[in-house]
Structure 1
Amino acid sequence: MAPVPGVAPVAAAAGNRTMAAAGAILIYAVIIGFTDNFVKVIAAEGGLWQFHAIRSVMALALFAVAAPLLGLRLWPRNPRAVAARSLVHGTAMLFYFGSLAFLPVAVVAAGLFTAPIFVLLLSRFAFGEAIGPFRILAVALGFLGTLMVLDPGEGSLSPVLIAPVIGGFLYALGNIATRRWCAGESAETLVAGFFGMLGIYGVIGMAVLALAAPEVPGGAAGFVLRGWVWPSAGFMGWTFVQAAGSLLGILMMVKGYQMAEASRAAVFEYTILPCAAFWSWFLWGEMLGGRALLGIVLIVAAGALIAARSRA
């Protein structure tokens, strides 16, 4: 990944607070695993673009209220770096949320969690960081687990299953950018930029759909193609839950990436897989098959091995 024009790559901060980063990202995983299970409820009547637009307005409004009370610094020190990072992470989330209407959260998260693989590859080949044979082996193990969770069958991946993997690559770019381009920014600045970019995407998407006027399937099948519809109380309520939960969760995730190198912090995000699977079972009674559960075990084991080697 080439540096953003006009933005010098930021050197790694002295020391890696690995365990503190792990704690912050675990909080993120528990919250996001819960809130993302309700996207399919939102998708039954609303659209992806309207969801992002309204959720961003809600999240930024919460920020506007909290900023003076908590002394938050929202304006970026380097607007171009924050905008570039927000663009990459925001695009990744379009692929992620677009898939949630059609697949279980744990399966979509598994596709997204090719990101640590891309983080390590980019860290090695783009920035020359040493990653070591044990971490390479662990990533291979995690990749095998990811394939088991995705369970393409028939030897091929459908476009719906590929979409979270594309999101994973973009997510990896955004995670590296968090540390290298935006190390001097506050976590709240980065989160505000993230929601602002998704809000812009939402408005653009609704405008394009209003002009194109495509035929929209009913229910969750029309999530990506559905433009503006008059929102119900249920849609607004669950979107607010998403906004507040995502705000807190992503804030914790950003703090985790600021406390440790991306190649270290990324492995702890694997905890979202068992968290998402637990909430899917607790809320909807959805159970993953034995193959998928074994895949999650392999992914978590890979994360533990990488964390151990990072501390060493």
Structure 2
Amino acid sequence: MPVAHQDRTLAAAGMICGYAMLIGYTDNYVRVIAQEHGLWQFHFTRTVMALALLGLLVPLLGLRLRPVNLRAVVARSLIHGLAMVIYFGALAFLPVAIVAAGLFTAPIFVLLISRFAYGHAIGPVRILAVAVGFVGVLLVLGPEAVSGASAAAVLPVLAGALYALGNVATREWCPEESAETLLAGFFATLGLFGALGMVLLTLAPLVAPVGPDGFLMRGWVMPNGPFLLWTFVQAAGSLLGVGMMIRAYQITDAGRASVIEYVILPASAFWSWTLWGELLAPMAVGGMVLIVAAGSMIALRAGAGEPVAPQA
């Protein structure tokens, strides 16, 4: 039976939680990478490592990389890649809280795209779950996420809209693609953007501040041991984690999966506390409770036999 006609929300929720724990761990070490190296070199190097690992796994596990619909895979990869470039680019001149809040508007856009582009029904439970989850996100991010916004704050919202479109495309455009095919497209696109960024910064170099503040403005830097180690950990973790996330979007409705994906914030906070001893304010803890509640509403509703909207 084609993947597009199956809906396994509880299995998808488990995959997204696994993805969140993996990505939450690996992303905490970006601060180590950012000490002396740049974002574009990181994307390019991580892509080379990830594709090399994927190439080793293909014959061992009998994976299929050949796309069923090349145009759909390329379009989805470009959309997701552009979303990430805009997101990281906005970090250069906007507070992290505002950028993150913008990206986490994605579940709202998923519901709007699903409803108005594909005619899927969106019930009151899902609408409430999106609202509860987004309020939780704002509480986790703090007052900065809802104050100080300007016209430039449209950029992370645009990233959220593109990220949402890419997530909808995973199920609507690429239902018969293997997760490894979509993984390869995703990493290849980010690697291409990374290479372009390094070329531009070589032709028109910028004076990058010392430490993490110069992450976005650095071009090529001679790799050192910590950079290679943690970029490899990122490549391996992302390969598995993003693969789980892609598969989750293939086996359940994108509107459900996008709300459950809010769990990435509590997962990241857990690893920040475990690895670096960073504690959260009570308001942020309350926000995480709301995030977990939003995901649980979706998962429990599906487990109780919520009708599945017909797929295009």
Same structural fold, with TM-score higher than 0.5 when normalized by the shorter chain: yes
Q: Report the alpha carbon displacement of residue 265 of structure 1 after superposing the two structures with TM.
A: 1.8
Correspondent of 1:130 among 121, 139, 157 = 121
Aligned partners of 2:130 and 2:259 also within 8 Å: no
Q: 1:297 to 1:37 in 2, by over 3 A?
A: same
Residue pairs, 1:111-260, within 5 angstroms: 111-153=102-144, 155-157=147-149, 164-260=156-252
Q: 1:277 to 1:103 in 2, by over 3 A?
A: farther
Partner residue in 1 for 2:310: none
Aligned length: 302
Alpha-carbon distance in structure 2 between the residues aligned to 1:35 and 1:111 = 22
SS where residue 137 of structure 1 aligns? helix
Aligned partners of 2:260 and 2:298 also within 8 Å: no
Partner residue in 2 for 1:280: 272
Question: Which letter maps to 1:94?
Answer: V
Aligned partners of 2:103 and 2:159 also within 8 Å: yes
SS where residue 288 of structure 1 aligns? coil
More deviation, 16-25/187-196: 16-25
Alpha-carbon distance in structure 1 between the residues aligned to 2:148 and 2:296 = 29
Correspondent of 1:54 among 35, 45, 49 = 45
Question: Which letter maps to 2:34?
Answer: A
Alpha-carbon distance in structure 2 between the residues aligned to 1:252 and 1:102 = 32
Partner residue in 2 for 1:4: none
Residue 86 (1) aligns with residue 77 (2) = yes
Question: Which letter maps to 1:304?
Answer: S
Partner residue in 2 for 1:309: 301
Alpha-carbon distance in structure 1 between the residues aligned to 2:158 and 2:140 = 16
Tell me the TM-score normalised to structure 2 length: 0.88
Q: 1:109 to 1:70 in 2, by over 3 A?
A: farther
Question: Which letter maps to 2:59?
Answer: P
Task: Point out where structure 2 has 5 or more consecutive residues left out of the alignment.
Answer: 307-312
Q: 1:108 to 1:41 in 2, by over 3 A?
A: farther
More deviation, 101-110/188-197: 101-110
Aligned partners of 1:114 and 1:146 also within 8 Å: no
Residue 35 (1) aligns with residue 26 (2) = yes
String of CA shifts for 1:267-299, please: whole Å, max 9, x gaps.
Answer: 221221211110000001112212222122222
Q: 1:221 to 1:48 in 2, by over 3 A?
A: same
Residue 269 (1) aligns with residue 261 (2) = yes
Aligned partners of 1:107 and 1:149 also within 8 Å: no
Aligned partners of 2:13 and 2:299 also within 8 Å: no
Residue 69 (1) aligns with residue 63 (2) = no
Q: Report the alpha carbon displacement of residue 106 of structure 1 after superposing the two structures with TM.
A: 9.4
SS where residue 279 of structure 2 aligns? coil
Question: Which letter maps to 1:78?
Answer: N
Alpha-carbon distance in structure 1 between the residues aligned to 2:282 and 2:86 = 26
Tell me the TM-score normalised to structure 1 length: 0.88
Aligned partners of 1:124 and 1:131 also within 8 Å: yes
SS where residue 5 of structure 2 aligns? coil
Alpha-carbon distance in structure 1 between the residues aligned to 2:156 and 2:140 = 12
Q: 1:149 to 1:102 in 2, by over 3 A?
A: farther
Aligned partners of 1:152 and 1:158 also within 8 Å: no
Percent sequence identity is: 63
Aligned partners of 1:12 and 1:261 also within 8 Å: no
More deviation, 37-46/115-124: 115-124
Aligned partners of 1:36 and 1:105 also within 8 Å: no
Alpha-carbon distance in structure 2 between the residues aligned to 1:60 and 1:197 = 11
Q: Report the alpha carbon displacement of residue 137 of structure 1 after superposing the two structures with TM.
A: 2.1
Partner residue in 2 for 1:3: none
Partner residue in 2 for 1:7: none
Alpha-carbon distance in structure 2 between the residues aligned to 1:271 and 1:299 = 6
Aligned partners of 2:98 and 2:149 also within 8 Å: no
Q: Report the alpha carbon displacement of residue 91 of structure 1 after superposing the two structures with TM.
A: 1.8
